[in-house]
Structure 1
Amino acid sequence: MGLRRLLFIFWVLCRYRLDLLLPVERLPLGIRILFKLGPWHLLGKRNLSRGERLRLALEALGPVFIKFGQLLSTRRDLLPDDIALELARLQDRVPPFPSDQAVAVIERSLGSTVAALFESFQQEPLASASIAQVHAATLPGGKQVVVKVTRPGIERVIAQDVRLLQTIARLVHRFVPDGRRLRPLEVVEDYRLTIFDELDLQREGANTSQLRRNFLNSDLLYVPEVFWDYTRRSVLVMERIHGIPVTDLDKLHAQHTDMKKLAERGVEIFFTQVFRDSFFHADMHPGNIFVAEGRPQSPQYIAIDCAIIGSLSDFDQYYLARNLLAIFQRNYREVAELHVECGWVPPETRVHEFEAAIRSVSEPIFEKPLAEISFGQVLLYLFQTARRFDMQVQPSLVLLQKTLLNIEGLGRQLYPQLDLWNTAMPYLERWIKDRYSPQSMLRKVSHRLPGWLEQLPQIPETLLERAQLQPQAPGQSHVQQRLDQLEAKLQQRQRQGASRLLGLVCGVAAVVVAQPQLRHGIDHVPAASAVLLVLSVYFFLRGN
């Protein structure tokens, strides 16, 4: 199966003459001869432009390749205009599958006929993408909705492509000099999980509902409602939205949209999703983003297609924020130290050399609008820096990096003069400050306190069980006595630590409870705060 798929990919590349897009003169002599003698010269579609040939080839190869083309389409600074315009057609204009197949999937999934389920159903699809297509419909009662249906047989095609990617990843890992650092096996595994999750429309519905709750009543972002009674693994029904495609600049200008504010709000939405919620839309190509009509001076985004959602651990979230903030503040020493501290580069890395390398990459891009920044050159420098210092690819951050590419490409189209750094830096500073405020610390402690209190009575017994030793042989009584003394000290220190922890918790709680009233004088301190303060002192004394 893998060999047949590989031969099909090779045939598609030949059929659409993608060899003409390659720098053949730079390839080894044997491969150049193969290109010259190959039979594909007779198959090539010479009457098509290079952009059309590339787009048609990606469409023929299927979802994995289409998504790669979607990502490329957002990088107008890295592609010629003719290729970028053609690849943009991959966002929502992939050739549809027959409507009778879509109806069959809907009726099989929902257990009833389309006529009984919907007041009206439009046979012609509104849009068609790599994995699913969308039909307009009306629910009983008149609510306008869209019905998303997965392509029949799509799982088999994706499984074949993923196996091919895994084979390529193993070859890269084994034979490419940078293979170990790039961690291709882990990256492909993350992609496998992501794309198979995307096939489950019920999971997409859950992601959509969560993102809608996160931005409910927000002026920044609107997310449509999901209708769960009509949603299954292969069918998703949600509210139909009416907005302007984010790439339709003529319509946006016609309604006098504040493009600067629109671009800035896009950056704010991204950082809010990543740092406030740790739940971010990770497929933000222009086909999934719209702008609400009728509010040009306070533009609001509309997001659809929440199949791919990214999330960061507290560890990655913290180090990412501190790294970005340090870069924005041009504190390259801290950036280098943070990379070593969190393990993104080997511990033996020479910090001063790494600092100098980061400075050489970052300095040229500050205080410039997007239109004046060569991100292609920046990415090249970053890759060279990463290779020099053996910086490993972090699979958990791959989705975030992909989303950053989409966001930057979108910002370039909307408002090339956007100052990305001054827009993002205040948000990061505020997030760091809020993360370690007394209120935030109290929320974290309150969230964990029930679990700590539940385990507290078991600590002495657990310590005793773990400290028990096997019976000692004759002549080891002195060693056993010394071990018993160490065990007793350990238990005492554990009890002291537990008491001090409870004292700290009570102290923080007392400060937070009393904070709103302290400005009125000591007489206005609440009784609850006083009790917590007494408990704090008691536990601290007990722990000493």
Structure 2
Amino acid sequence: MGLGSTFRLIHAGWVLAREGAFSILPAESLPPMMKLGISMARLIERPSVRRTGSVERLNAALHKLGPSFVKFGQTLATRPDIVGAQAAADLSGLQDRMPPFDPALVPTILSDALGAKAAQLTEISAPIAAASIAQVHRAILRKPGDAPKRVAVKLLRPGVSERFHADTQALYAGARLAEAFAPASRRLQPTQVVQTLDHSMRLELDLRLEAAAISEMAENIKDDEGFRIPEVQWDQVAQNVLTTTWVDGIPIRDHAAIDAAGIDRKALAAKLLQGFLRHAIRDGFFHADMHPGNLFADPRSGDVIAVDFGIMGRIGKFERRFLADILYGFITRNYRLVAQRHFDIGYVPAHQSVDDFTLAIRSIGEPLHGRKATEISMAKVLGQLFTITDLFQMRTRPELVLLQKSMVLVEGVARNLDPELDIWTIAEPVVGDWLRREEGPLGRIEDFSGHLTRMGEALGRVPNLIAQAELALAEHRAMVDRPRDGLMRSGMLAVLGAAFVFLIVMTWKMLLS
């Protein structure tokens, strides 16, 4: 851990405390040690923040600190139910209204990245949206033989990779300090969490990978309704340039314009939430940066339009089943199922009591049922979750961090659209249909097919294992006395035979499970 990273971390903490970042956290709902830390941080807060409660200067501070801190601010901006309406409004400018970089650099960036094909992009506008990583321009794509096409051109900010690297080094420094001086934090695996975020952000810094993500998601949702994304223009794609078709839409945070267009905000919230759950549970591949700056409403169809696919989440079949069972357990008030799945995936250590954890889950779930979103204090719910995670020594699953962060974002946006949001009623069609399919004949056939594939792969490795064993046997035989050759060969063949039988038995059990 370098001195530079530690100094940057200390500097970031000072700036955040000074500009009131800790004043917007729900301290009353947090554990005692976290309350104490927030109280100490607020001692250096600006008098104007203490007097007015406004944190409008925090936008500029987060931007100066770097893109990772901006991402954190974007998440808080979607949760007025946690940080308060004023703070959320102050932070909303982080979503797509950051200062753009010098427009004089744009022609050179395009020319260096696209070569001669840069000339096909004409009538390039001033930046229409600027965020922490990149900014977007409107342009006309003129390809020989094709009609002119309106497109969106996304350009990475010059020097953003270096700023991001400095950010992550500071976050790593903070994670290591936490693990060294706060042993209780180790169960949360802060270093592994930072590694997960580091990996996702590195992917975001290569726009070719974002283009591939758009292409994959387009295949996944081609038969879906209610959720649209732009199309990639591959000839105008490079590491720092992404060109897609232009999509016309109303910013999803502009409730007045959505109402004026006659769009049903309740239906829009349902489409957003169900679309996200469908992508996560059915496809295991989801948009992991769905803040309001990346979401629009189609004025003609009332569908959700999503842009900016730099951060994507991917989870396996086991994690998808975990998410579906957790949601379905809350929907049906089957808290035993919710508790058991937390043990199955390793969130809760095996030595804890399933019955006691079921009771804790019930204490969270029961007050949420039958209530409107406006009647639920998410700050109190989060405080209760903090208490339960500590009580049951729950561990973090780093590979699920993006999913959890994305669910917070999506639910926050949906709540803003529909203050009477009932997440359980909206989620049931998606979750229930997927679970019924998985438990039905088609799901069983797919599981059996997967077992056969894995069995074939395992059996395909057997000849190689035998060859390796025979080679090891030959090498060993050259090193021992001749009289012991027969005994050694018999022993090795016996071990090899036992290993082969074990492989067959385990494969058979897997097929029957």
Q: TM-score surpassing 0.5? A: yes
- Contact 2:469–2:496 (Cα < 8 Å) also in 1: no
Alpha-carbon distance, 1:333 to partner: 2.2
Alpha-carbon distance, 1:290 to partner: 0.5
**1:112-123 → structure 2 map (5 Å cutoff):** 112=116, 116-122=119-125
Equivalent residue, structure 2, for 1:529: none
The 1:13–1:316 alpha-carbon spacing in structure 2 relative to 1, beyond 3 Å, is closer
- Give the length in aligned residue pairs: 492
- Contact 1:434–1:440 (Cα < 8 Å) also in 2: yes
The equivalent position to 1:385 in structure 2, one of 380, 388, 404, is 388
For 1:92-113, what per-residue CA distance to the aligned partner results, in whole angstroms no more than 9, with x for missing partners?
Answer: 1001111012222111111248
Output the amino acid matched with 1:89. Answer: G
The 1:465–1:102 alpha-carbon spacing in structure 2 relative to 1, beyond 3 Å, is closer
- Contact 1:263–1:415 (Cα < 8 Å) also in 2: yes
Q: Report the more deviating stretch, 46-55 or 275-284.
A: 46-55
Alpha-carbon distance, 1:452 to partner: 4.4
Q: Report the more deviating stretch, 130-139 or 423-432.
A: 423-432
Q: Within 1, Cα distance between the matches of 2:509 and 2:278? A: 35
Output the amino acid matched with 1:439. Answer: L
The equivalent position to 2:309 in structure 1, one of 293, 306, 309, is 306
Q: Report the more deviating stretch, 45-54 or 262-271.
A: 45-54
Alpha-carbon distance, 1:451 to partner: 6.7
Equivalent residue, structure 1, for 2:107: 103
Q: Report the more deviating stretch, 466-475 or 410-419.
A: 466-475
Q: SS of the counterpart of 2:352?
A: coil
Q: State whether structure 2 residue 404 is matched by structure 1 residue 401.
A: yes
Q: State whether structure 2 residue 224 is matched by structure 1 residue 221.
A: no
Alpha-carbon distance, 1:441 to partner: 3.3
Output the amino acid matched with 2:375. Answer: E
Equivalent residue, structure 2, for 1:178: 184
**1:154-233 → structure 2 map (5 Å cutoff):** 154-233=160-239
Q: State whether structure 2 residue 314 is matched by structure 1 residue 274.
A: no
Q: Within 2, Cα distance between the matches of 1:254 and 1:34? A: 46
**1:377-526 → structure 2 map (5 Å cutoff):** 377-446=380-449, 449=452, 452-453=455-456, 456=459, 459=462, 462=465
**1:251-270 → structure 2 map (5 Å cutoff):** 251-270=257-276
Q: Within 1, Cα distance between the matches of 2:430 and 2:362? A: 23
Q: Within 1, Cα distance between the matches of 2:228 and 2:49? A: 43
Output the amino acid matched with 1:157. Answer: R
Give the alignment's TM-score, normalised by structure 2.
0.84
- Contact 1:58–1:65 (Cα < 8 Å) also in 2: yes
Q: Report the more deviating stretch, 103-112 or 490-499.
A: 490-499
The equivalent position to 2:67 in structure 1, one of 57, 63, 67, is 63
Output the amino acid matched with 1:93. Answer: R
Equivalent residue, structure 1, for 2:334: 331
Alpha-carbon distance, 1:119 to partner: 3.1
Q: Within 2, Cα distance between the matches of 1:52 and 1:33? A: 16
Equivalent residue, structure 1, for 2:128: 126
Equivalent residue, structure 1, for 2:86: 82
- Higher-RCO chain (CA-CA 8 Å, sequence separation at least 6): 2
Output the amino acid matched with 1:267. Answer: L
> Equivalent pairs: percent with the same residue?
35
For 1:109-144, what per-residue CA distance to the aligned partner results, in whole angstroms no more than 9, with x for missing partners?
Answer: 112485x2323222x111111011111110113200
Give the alignment's TM-score, normalised by structure 1.
0.80
The 1:430–1:478 alpha-carbon spacing in structure 2 relative to 1, beyond 3 Å, is same
**1:5-154 → structure 2 map (5 Å cutoff):** 5-6=8-9, 9=12, 12-13=15-16, 16=19, 35=44, 50-112=54-116, 116-122=119-125, 124-140=126-142, 141-154=147-160
Alpha-carbon distance, 1:479 to partner: 12
Q: Within 2, Cα distance between the matches of 1:495 and 1:165? A: 47
Q: Within 2, Cα distance between the matches of 1:33 and 1:423? A: 40
Alpha-carbon distance, 1:33 to partner: 12
The 1:432–1:460 alpha-carbon spacing in structure 2 relative to 1, beyond 3 Å, is same
Alpha-carbon distance, 1:59 to partner: 2.1
For 1:392-431, what per-residue CA distance to the aligned partner results, in whole angstroms no more than 9, with x for missing partners?
Answer: 0111111111111111111111112222112212322221
Equivalent residue, structure 2, for 1:245: 251
Q: Report the more deviating stretch, 324-333 or 188-197.
A: 324-333
For 1:463-518, what per-residue CA distance to the aligned partner results, in whole angstroms no more than 9, with x for missing partners?
Answer: 6975998789999999998998897687678668879999x89xxxxxxxxxxxxx
- Contact 2:263–2:299 (Cα < 8 Å) also in 1: no
Higher CA-based Rg: 1
Output the amino acid matched with 2:419. Answer: P
Q: Within 2, Cα distance between the matches of 1:252 and 1:75? A: 20
Q: SS of the counterpart of 2:222?
A: coil
The 1:381–1:228 alpha-carbon spacing in structure 2 relative to 1, beyond 3 Å, is same
Alpha-carbon distance, 1:291 to partner: 0.8
The 1:331–1:56 alpha-carbon spacing in structure 2 relative to 1, beyond 3 Å, is same
For 1:8-57, what per-residue CA distance to the aligned partner results, in whole angstroms no more than 9, with x for missing partners?
Answer: 5467458757688799xx869x9699849xxx88xx89999833212221
Q: Within 1, Cα distance between the matches of 2:15 and 2:404? A: 29
The 1:180–1:144 alpha-carbon spacing in structure 2 relative to 1, beyond 3 Å, is same
Q: Within 2, Cα distance between the matches of 1:444 and 1:190? A: 29
Q: Report the more deviating stretch, 322-331 or 65-74.
A: 322-331
Q: SS of the counterpart of 2:80?
A: coil
Q: SS of the counterpart of 2:87?
A: helix
Q: SS of the counterpart of 2:82?
A: coil
Q: Within 2, Cα distance between the matches of 1:273 and 1:438? A: 22
Equivalent residue, structure 1, for 2:31: none
Backbone CA RMSD of aligned residues: 3.7
Equivalent residue, structure 2, for 1:347: 350
Alpha-carbon distance, 1:287 to partner: 0.5
Equivalent residue, structure 1, for 2:30: none
Q: Report the more deviating stretch, 324-333 or 175-184.
A: 324-333
- Contact 1:18–1:53 (Cα < 8 Å) also in 2: no
Alpha-carbon distance, 1:385 to partner: 0.4
- Contact 1:45–1:53 (Cα < 8 Å) also in 2: no
Q: Within 2, Cα distance between the matches of 1:126 and 1:193? A: 28
- Contact 1:51–1:84 (Cα < 8 Å) also in 2: no
Q: SS of the counterpart of 2:57?
A: helix
Q: Within 1, Cα distance between the matches of 2:428 and 2:87? A: 34
Alpha-carbon distance, 1:170 to partner: 0.4
The 1:112–1:493 alpha-carbon spacing in structure 2 relative to 1, beyond 3 Å, is closer
Q: SS of the counterpart of 1:367?
A: coil
For 1:245-270, what per-residue CA distance to the aligned partner results, in whole angstroms no more than 9, with x for missing partners?
Answer: 11111111112222222222122101
The 1:15–1:108 alpha-carbon spacing in structure 2 relative to 1, beyond 3 Å, is farther
Output the amino acid matched with 1:133. Answer: Q
